[in-house]
């Protein structure tokens, strides 16, 4: 049974058109993460929520926003996608921030045209 579910798996959006990626979890984990992974690169953390506490990485562009309306759901909003934002976006969860396994979703591959 899928525990971290990302929708959609593939998303095509137009340059400059806002897009939202979604993530849900059935694990009741406290922490939810969003990573950006460009082709042949390591996943790069954009931000994470520890419960309702939002933590933004210093180098995450302002173009990227996130919402966590409840424990189960987390959204990634890209306000004005550029060609450079085309990537795989990975959502992950963990029970606690320290020493516990992170569970990843299947990812959403975003294409910007």
Q: Which residues bind other proteins (CB under 8 A)?
A: 4, 6, 31, 33, 40-45, 48, 50, 55, 88, 90, 92, 96-99, 101-107, 109
Which residue's CB is nearer to other proteins, number 74 or number 80?
A: 74
Give the nearer residue to other proteins in terms of CB position, either 65 or 108: 108
CB of 19 to other proteins, least distance (A): 19
Q: Which is nearer to other proteins, 16 or 96 (CB)?
A: 96
Q: How far is the CB of 103 from other proteins (least distance, A)?
A: 8
DSSP codes joined into one string, 17-37: --EEEEEEESS--SEEEEEEE
- Least distance to other proteins, CB of residue 18, Å: 24
Give the span between the Cα atoms of 12 and 102, in whole angstroms: 27
Which C-beta is closer to other proteins: that of 81 or that of 105?
105
């Amino acid at each position: 049974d899928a525990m971290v579910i990302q929708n959609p798996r593939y998303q095509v959006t137009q340059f400059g058109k806002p897009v939202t990626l979604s993530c849900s979890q059935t694990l009741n984990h406290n922490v939810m993460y969003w990573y950006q992974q460009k082709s042949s690169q390591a996943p790069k953390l954009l931000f994470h929520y520890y419960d309702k506490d939002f933590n933004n990485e210093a180098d995450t562009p302002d173009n990227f926003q996130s919402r966590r309306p409840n424990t189960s759901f987390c959204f990634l909003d890209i306000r004005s996608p550029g060609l450079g934002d085309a990537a795989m976006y990975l959502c992950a969860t963990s029970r606690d921030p320290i020493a516990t396994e992170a569970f990843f979703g299947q990812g959403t591959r975003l294409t910007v045209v």
